[in-house]
Structure 1
Amino acid sequence: MSYAVDFTTVSTTGLESSPVADALAGLRANEARYFKNKYDHVFTVEPASDAAATVGWVSRILEEERGIVISAPALEATEFEVEGIRMAYVFYESGLSINVMYALDEAGKRAVGFKLSDGMDVPEELGAFKFARQKSKLAGTIRGSYFVIKNEY
Protein backbone atom coordinates (compact mmCIF):
# COMPACT_ATOMS: atom_id res chain seq x y z
CA MET A 1 0.00 0.00 0.00
CA SER A 2 1.44 3.36 -0.99
CA TYR A 3 1.70 6.22 1.47
CA ALA A 4 1.76 9.97 0.71
CA VAL A 5 4.36 11.42 3.07
CA ASP A 6 3.01 14.27 5.21
CA PHE A 7 5.71 16.78 6.09
CA THR A 8 3.55 18.83 8.46
CA THR A 9 2.81 15.86 10.76
CA VAL A 10 5.82 13.55 10.63
CA SER A 11 4.91 9.88 10.96
CA THR A 12 7.03 6.74 11.29
CA THR A 13 4.50 4.74 9.24
CA GLY A 14 6.41 2.02 7.37
CA LEU A 15 9.66 2.77 9.22
CA GLU A 16 8.82 1.37 12.67
CA SER A 17 11.48 -1.38 12.57
CA SER A 18 14.32 1.13 12.20
CA PRO A 19 16.33 1.85 15.38
CA VAL A 20 16.29 5.52 14.29
CA ALA A 21 12.67 5.53 13.05
CA ASP A 22 11.90 9.08 14.22
CA ALA A 23 14.98 10.56 12.54
CA LEU A 24 14.40 8.51 9.35
CA ALA A 25 10.77 9.69 9.27
CA GLY A 26 12.04 13.27 9.58
CA LEU A 27 14.48 12.68 6.73
CA ARG A 28 11.70 11.24 4.57
CA ALA A 29 9.46 14.23 5.44
CA ASN A 30 12.31 16.60 4.57
CA GLU A 31 12.47 15.07 1.07
CA ALA A 32 8.67 15.26 0.74
CA ARG A 33 8.72 18.97 1.62
CA TYR A 34 11.49 19.65 -0.93
CA PHE A 35 9.61 17.98 -3.80
CA LYS A 36 6.31 19.63 -2.87
CA ASN A 37 7.86 23.09 -2.68
CA LYS A 38 10.13 22.82 -5.74
CA TYR A 39 8.04 20.69 -8.13
CA ASP A 40 4.55 20.56 -6.55
CA HIS A 41 5.04 16.76 -6.43
CA VAL A 42 3.40 14.65 -3.72
CA PHE A 43 6.13 12.34 -2.39
CA THR A 44 4.54 8.89 -2.17
CA VAL A 45 6.37 5.80 -0.93
CA GLU A 46 5.50 2.12 -0.89
CA PRO A 47 6.89 -0.90 0.95
CA ALA A 48 10.16 -2.10 -0.57
CA SER A 49 8.55 -5.48 -1.26
CA ASP A 50 6.08 -3.72 -3.59
CA ALA A 51 8.82 -1.63 -5.22
CA ALA A 52 11.28 -4.41 -6.08
CA ALA A 53 12.06 -2.91 -9.51
CA THR A 54 13.04 0.45 -7.96
CA VAL A 55 15.13 -1.15 -5.20
CA GLY A 56 16.78 -3.39 -7.82
CA TRP A 57 17.59 -0.44 -10.11
CA VAL A 58 19.21 1.52 -7.27
CA SER A 59 21.12 -1.57 -6.07
CA ARG A 60 22.37 -2.30 -9.60
CA ILE A 61 23.69 1.25 -10.02
CA LEU A 62 25.49 1.11 -6.64
CA GLU A 63 27.08 -2.24 -7.39
CA GLU A 64 28.08 -1.57 -11.00
CA GLU A 65 29.34 1.97 -10.41
CA ARG A 66 31.18 1.53 -7.09
CA GLY A 67 30.90 -2.11 -5.99
CA ILE A 68 28.61 -1.09 -3.10
CA VAL A 69 26.13 -3.56 -1.64
CA ILE A 70 23.95 -2.16 1.15
CA SER A 71 23.66 -4.65 3.99
CA ALA A 72 20.59 -3.13 5.69
CA PRO A 73 17.15 -4.22 4.48
CA ALA A 74 15.16 -1.74 2.41
CA LEU A 75 11.93 -0.60 4.08
CA GLU A 76 10.38 1.75 1.52
CA ALA A 77 10.99 3.05 -1.96
CA THR A 78 9.58 5.43 -4.54
CA GLU A 79 10.26 6.31 -8.14
CA PHE A 80 8.90 9.24 -10.16
CA GLU A 81 9.79 11.74 -12.86
CA VAL A 82 9.98 15.52 -12.48
CA GLU A 83 11.10 17.96 -15.18
CA GLY A 84 12.87 15.29 -17.26
CA ILE A 85 14.65 13.71 -14.28
CA ARG A 86 13.96 10.17 -13.12
CA MET A 87 14.16 10.11 -9.32
CA ALA A 88 14.32 7.03 -7.13
CA TYR A 89 14.54 6.85 -3.34
CA VAL A 90 15.14 3.86 -1.09
CA PHE A 91 14.85 4.15 2.70
CA TYR A 92 16.73 1.49 4.68
CA GLU A 93 16.16 0.07 8.16
CA SER A 94 19.57 1.38 9.31
CA GLY A 95 18.42 4.99 8.77
CA LEU A 96 20.11 5.37 5.38
CA SER A 97 18.34 7.05 2.48
CA ILE A 98 19.69 6.61 -1.05
CA ASN A 99 18.42 8.60 -3.98
CA VAL A 100 19.23 8.37 -7.67
CA MET A 101 18.82 11.47 -9.82
CA TYR A 102 18.96 10.36 -13.45
CA ALA A 103 18.39 12.95 -16.16
CA LEU A 104 16.60 11.43 -19.14
CA ASP A 105 18.51 13.52 -21.68
CA GLU A 106 22.15 12.65 -22.42
CA ALA A 107 23.56 16.00 -21.26
CA GLY A 108 21.74 16.05 -17.92
CA LYS A 109 23.07 15.35 -14.45
CA ARG A 110 23.10 11.83 -13.07
CA ALA A 111 24.12 11.08 -9.50
CA VAL A 112 23.56 8.91 -6.46
CA GLY A 113 23.03 10.64 -3.12
CA PHE A 114 23.37 9.20 0.36
CA LYS A 115 21.75 10.71 3.45
CA LEU A 116 22.28 9.43 6.97
CA SER A 117 19.60 9.88 9.60
CA ASP A 118 20.50 11.64 12.83
CA GLY A 119 21.85 9.09 15.31
CA MET A 120 23.08 6.43 12.88
CA ASP A 121 26.70 5.49 12.24
CA VAL A 122 28.20 5.62 8.75
CA PRO A 123 27.61 2.16 7.25
CA GLU A 124 30.81 0.20 6.62
CA GLU A 125 30.04 -0.01 2.89
CA LEU A 126 30.02 3.83 2.68
CA GLY A 127 33.17 4.37 4.75
CA ALA A 128 35.12 5.76 1.79
CA PHE A 129 32.78 8.75 1.43
CA LYS A 130 33.09 12.12 3.15
CA PHE A 131 29.78 13.35 4.55
CA ALA A 132 28.74 17.00 4.78
CA ARG A 133 26.29 18.09 7.48
CA GLN A 134 23.10 20.05 7.03
CA LYS A 135 20.48 21.08 9.57
CA SER A 136 16.83 20.32 9.03
CA LYS A 137 13.84 21.29 11.16
CA LEU A 138 12.23 17.96 10.30
CA ALA A 139 15.25 15.65 10.48
CA GLY A 140 17.77 17.25 12.86
CA THR A 141 21.29 16.92 11.45
CA ILE A 142 21.48 15.17 8.09
CA ARG A 143 24.82 13.91 6.82
CA GLY A 144 25.02 13.60 3.06
CA SER A 145 27.36 12.56 0.26
CA TYR A 146 27.07 11.62 -3.42
CA PHE A 147 28.83 10.37 -6.51
CA VAL A 148 28.31 11.01 -10.22
CA ILE A 149 26.94 8.17 -12.33
CA LYS A 150 29.19 7.45 -15.32
CA ASN A 151 27.31 4.67 -17.17
CA GLU A 152 23.86 4.25 -18.72
CA TYR A 153 21.03 2.67 -16.73
Structure 2
Amino acid sequence: MSYTVDFKEVSRVGLESSPVVEALAGLRANESRYFKNKYDHDFTVTPASEAPETLEWVNRILAEERNLTIASRPLEVTSFEVDGIKMAYVFYESGLSINVMYTLEDGGKRAVGFKLSQGMEVPEELAGTFKFARQKSKLAGEIRGSYFVIKGQY
Protein backbone atom coordinates (compact mmCIF):
# COMPACT_ATOMS: atom_id res chain seq x y z
CA MET A 1 0.00 0.00 0.00
CA SER A 2 1.35 3.42 -0.99
CA TYR A 3 1.99 6.11 1.60
CA THR A 4 2.39 9.86 1.00
CA VAL A 5 5.18 11.05 3.28
CA ASP A 6 4.21 13.93 5.56
CA PHE A 7 7.15 16.15 6.42
CA LYS A 8 5.26 18.14 9.03
CA GLU A 9 4.32 15.12 11.15
CA VAL A 10 7.20 12.64 10.73
CA SER A 11 5.89 9.08 10.71
CA ARG A 12 7.66 5.76 11.15
CA VAL A 13 5.10 3.93 8.96
CA GLY A 14 6.80 1.25 6.86
CA LEU A 15 10.17 1.70 8.55
CA GLU A 16 9.48 0.14 11.95
CA SER A 17 12.01 -2.71 11.55
CA SER A 18 14.96 -0.33 11.14
CA PRO A 19 17.34 -0.01 14.12
CA VAL A 20 17.54 3.73 13.33
CA VAL A 21 13.82 4.14 12.61
CA GLU A 22 13.50 7.73 13.90
CA ALA A 23 16.47 8.98 11.87
CA LEU A 24 15.37 7.06 8.75
CA ALA A 25 11.84 8.45 9.07
CA GLY A 26 13.35 11.94 9.36
CA LEU A 27 15.54 11.33 6.31
CA ARG A 28 12.51 10.20 4.30
CA ALA A 29 10.56 13.28 5.47
CA ASN A 30 13.52 15.50 4.52
CA GLU A 31 13.36 14.15 0.95
CA SER A 32 9.59 14.67 0.90
CA ARG A 33 9.97 18.31 1.95
CA TYR A 34 12.59 18.92 -0.74
CA PHE A 35 10.37 17.64 -3.57
CA LYS A 36 7.27 19.41 -2.28
CA ASN A 37 9.07 22.75 -1.97
CA LYS A 38 11.09 22.53 -5.21
CA TYR A 39 8.66 20.76 -7.56
CA ASP A 40 5.28 20.73 -5.72
CA HIS A 41 5.50 16.92 -5.86
CA ASP A 42 3.95 14.69 -3.20
CA PHE A 43 6.58 12.12 -2.20
CA THR A 44 4.76 8.77 -2.12
CA VAL A 45 6.50 5.53 -1.16
CA THR A 46 5.50 1.91 -1.67
CA PRO A 47 6.73 -1.24 0.08
CA ALA A 48 9.68 -2.57 -1.92
CA SER A 49 7.89 -5.90 -2.45
CA GLU A 50 5.05 -4.08 -4.26
CA ALA A 51 7.28 -2.23 -6.76
CA PRO A 52 10.01 -4.67 -7.83
CA GLU A 53 10.67 -2.81 -11.10
CA THR A 54 11.98 0.26 -9.23
CA LEU A 55 14.22 -1.85 -7.01
CA GLU A 56 15.49 -3.82 -10.03
CA TRP A 57 16.31 -0.60 -11.94
CA VAL A 58 18.32 0.82 -9.01
CA ASN A 59 20.06 -2.53 -8.39
CA ARG A 60 20.97 -2.82 -12.08
CA ILE A 61 22.57 0.63 -12.09
CA LEU A 62 24.53 -0.13 -8.89
CA ALA A 63 25.72 -3.48 -10.27
CA GLU A 64 26.67 -2.30 -13.76
CA GLU A 65 28.21 1.03 -12.78
CA ARG A 66 30.11 0.07 -9.60
CA ASN A 67 29.66 -3.69 -9.07
CA LEU A 68 27.67 -2.92 -5.89
CA THR A 69 25.09 -5.08 -4.15
CA ILE A 70 23.44 -3.66 -1.04
CA ALA A 71 23.23 -6.22 1.76
CA SER A 72 20.48 -4.52 3.77
CA ARG A 73 16.82 -5.35 3.19
CA PRO A 74 14.94 -2.75 1.09
CA LEU A 75 11.86 -1.48 2.91
CA GLU A 76 10.35 1.15 0.62
CA VAL A 77 10.77 2.53 -2.88
CA THR A 78 9.44 5.35 -4.99
CA SER A 79 9.85 6.33 -8.62
CA PHE A 80 8.55 9.45 -10.34
CA GLU A 81 9.37 12.06 -12.96
CA VAL A 82 9.78 15.80 -12.34
CA ASP A 83 11.01 18.42 -14.84
CA GLY A 84 12.33 15.77 -17.26
CA ILE A 85 14.21 13.90 -14.52
CA LYS A 86 13.39 10.34 -13.54
CA MET A 87 13.90 9.91 -9.81
CA ALA A 88 13.99 6.66 -7.86
CA TYR A 89 14.55 6.09 -4.15
CA VAL A 90 15.14 2.99 -2.07
CA PHE A 91 15.01 3.16 1.73
CA TYR A 92 16.81 0.27 3.45
CA GLU A 93 16.36 -1.31 6.87
CA SER A 94 19.93 -0.32 7.86
CA GLY A 95 19.07 3.38 7.53
CA LEU A 96 20.62 3.78 4.07
CA SER A 97 18.77 5.71 1.39
CA ILE A 98 19.79 5.45 -2.26
CA ASN A 99 18.45 7.76 -4.93
CA VAL A 100 18.92 7.77 -8.66
CA MET A 101 18.59 11.04 -10.57
CA TYR A 102 18.40 10.31 -14.28
CA THR A 103 17.78 13.19 -16.68
CA LEU A 104 15.80 11.78 -19.60
CA GLU A 105 17.32 14.14 -22.16
CA ASP A 106 20.75 13.10 -23.45
CA GLY A 107 23.57 15.12 -21.93
CA GLY A 108 21.68 15.83 -18.70
CA LYS A 109 22.78 15.06 -15.16
CA ARG A 110 22.66 11.44 -14.06
CA ALA A 111 23.86 10.28 -10.65
CA VAL A 112 23.35 7.89 -7.77
CA GLY A 113 23.23 9.38 -4.29
CA PHE A 114 23.76 7.64 -0.96
CA LYS A 115 22.49 9.06 2.33
CA LEU A 116 23.18 7.55 5.73
CA SER A 117 20.73 8.05 8.58
CA GLN A 118 22.12 9.42 11.82
CA GLY A 119 23.32 6.60 14.05
CA MET A 120 24.16 4.07 11.34
CA GLU A 121 27.61 2.91 10.33
CA VAL A 122 28.84 3.16 6.74
CA PRO A 123 27.73 -0.10 5.09
CA GLU A 124 30.61 -2.47 4.37
CA GLU A 125 29.87 -2.42 0.63
CA LEU A 126 30.36 1.39 0.54
CA ALA A 127 33.21 1.71 3.05
CA GLY A 128 36.56 2.74 1.59
CA THR A 129 34.99 3.50 -1.81
CA PHE A 130 33.03 6.64 -1.01
CA LYS A 131 33.70 9.67 1.16
CA PHE A 132 30.66 11.03 2.96
CA ALA A 133 29.99 14.72 3.50
CA ARG A 134 27.88 15.81 6.48
CA GLN A 135 24.82 18.02 6.41
CA LYS A 136 22.38 19.08 9.12
CA SER A 137 18.64 18.56 8.80
CA LYS A 138 15.89 19.67 11.17
CA LEU A 139 13.97 16.52 10.29
CA ALA A 140 16.80 13.96 10.15
CA GLY A 141 19.54 15.31 12.42
CA GLU A 142 22.88 14.76 10.74
CA ILE A 143 22.85 13.17 7.29
CA ARG A 144 26.01 11.85 5.66
CA GLY A 145 25.92 11.72 1.88
CA SER A 146 27.94 10.73 -1.16
CA TYR A 147 27.31 10.09 -4.86
CA PHE A 148 28.71 8.94 -8.17
CA VAL A 149 27.97 9.98 -11.74
CA ILE A 150 26.18 7.46 -13.96
CA LYS A 151 28.04 6.82 -17.20
CA GLY A 152 25.81 4.17 -18.88
CA GLN A 153 22.33 4.29 -20.42
CA TYR A 154 19.44 2.96 -18.37
TM-score by length of 2: 0.99
Aligned to 2:55: 55
User: Take 1:51 and 1:117, find their aligned partners in 2: how far apart are those partners?
Assistant: 23
Alignment of 1:73-92 (within 5 A): 73-92=73-92
Secondary structure class of the residue paired with 1:105: coil
**Counterpart in the other structure of 1:147:** 148
> Structure 1: which amino acid aligns with 2:137?
S
Q: 2:57 & 2:75 partners in 1: Cα distance?
A: 15
Letter in 2 for 1:35: F
- Residue 118 of structure 1 aligns to a residue whose secondary structure is coil
Query: For residue 20 of structure 1, what is the aligned residue in structure 2?
Result: 20
Provide the secondary structure at the position in 2 that maps to 1:49. helix
Deviation at 1:107, TM superposition (A): 1.2
Residue identity matched to 2:41 = H
In structure 1, C-alpha distance between the alignment counterparts of 2:114 and 2:53, rounded to whole Å: 19
Distance 2:50 2:104 in 1: 24
In structure 2, what is the equivalent of residue 4 of structure 1?
4
Correspondence 1:33 to 2:33: yes
Report Cα offsets for 1:78-133 as digits up to 9, x if no partner. Answer: 00000000000000000000000000000100000000000000000001100000
Question: How far 1:51 moved relative to its partner?
Answer: 1.1
The answer for the alignment partner of 1:64 in structure 2 is 64
Gaps of 5+ in 2: none
Segments ≥4 residues shifted beyond 4 Å? none
Q: Give secondary structure in 2 for the equivalent of 1:23.
A: helix
The secondary structure found in structure 2 opposite 1:125 is: coil
| One-letter identity of the residue aligned with 1:58 | V
Q: Secondary structure at the match of 1:143?
A: strand
What amino acid does structure 1 have at the position aligned with 2:87? M
Alignment partner of 1:124: what SS?
coil
Inter-partner Cα distance in structure 2 for 1:57 and 1:23: 26
- Secondary structure at 2:125's aligned position in 1? helix
Question: 1: CA distance between counterparts of 2:51 and 2:139?
Answer: 25
- Aligned-partner SS, 1:138: coil
Question: In 1, distance between residues paired with 2:55 and 2:136?
Answer: 27
